[in-house]
Structure 1
Amino acid sequence: MREHFVWVTTRRIRPGTLEEFERAWRPEPYPPGLRQAYAYWSEDGLEITGVSFWDTRESCDSWRGSQAETRRREAMSSFVVEESEGFYLGRELGIPTR
C-alpha cells in the first residue's frame, strides 16, 4: 500500500465561532503539493480536526513556512483557544469485505 504524508491539526475554538472560523481556515491560495484535505468537528462545534495529505514532507513544510499560511493562522487566531498538530507517515488500512 502507498504511504501518505499527513499533517493533522486539532483546534479547540470559542463557542459560537464555527462559521467564522471555517471562513478564516480555508487556505488562499490553495497550497501546492496538497493532495486532499478533510475537516472533522465535534458535535458541539468546539473542536475541529483537519487532516491533509501531501505529495512530500517538503511540500507540507514549505506551505507551513509560507506567508500565506502565516496570514491564515493570524486570521484564525481570534477564534482558537487551543491547538495541537503533528506530521505523520501512514497508509490505508485494508478492511476485509464481509
Structure 2
Amino acid sequence: MEEHVVWVTTRRLRPGTLEEFERAWQPTTHPEGMRRAFAYWSEDGQEITGVSFWDSKEACDSWRASEPEAQRRANMAPYVAEEREGFYRGRELAIPQR
C-alpha cells in the first residue's frame, strides 16, 4: 500500500467569521510538493480541519517556512480562536466487502 505524508490542521473559529476565514485561508500560490488538499467543517461552522497530502515532510516544511504561508497565516489570524496541527504518515485502509 502507498504511504502518504499528511499535514492536518484543525482551527476553532471565532463565532460568525467562517466566510471571512474562508477568503483568508486560500493560498495565493500552489504549494510546491502538495498533491491534494481537503477541508472539513463542523456543522456549526466553528471548526474547520484541513488535510493536505505532500510529496514529503520536507516539501511541507518548506511551504510552512515560506513567505506566502506566513502571509496566509497572518490573514487568517483575526478569525482563529484556537489551532492544532500535526504531521502524520499513513495509508488508505481496505474496507471489507459486504
Query: Which category describes the TM-score, using the shorter chain as reference length?
Result: over 0.9
1:16-73 residue CA offsets vs partner (Å, 9 max, x unmatched): 1111101100111110110000000100000000000001111000000000000000
Aligned to 1:66: 66
2:34 counterpart of 1:56: no
Structure 1 unaligned spans of 5+: none
Runs of 4+ aligned residues of structure 1 deviating over 6 Å after TM superposition are none
Code of the aligned partner of 1:92: E
Provide the residue aligned with 1:40 in structure 2: 40
Distance 1:87 1:26 in 2: 20
Q: Structure 2: any 5+ residue segments left out of the alignment?
A: none
Percent sequence identity is: 69
Measured in 2, the distance between the counterparts of 1:79 and 1:71 equals: 14
Where 2:78 maps in the other structure, the secondary structure is coil
- 1:54 and 1:93 map into 2 onto residues whose CA distance is 18
Distance 1:46 1:30 in 2: 26
Amino acid at match of 1:90: G
Give the structure-1-normalised TM-score.
Answer: 0.98
* TM-score computed with the length of structure 2 as normaliser: 0.98
Q: What letter matches 1:86 in structure 2?
A: G
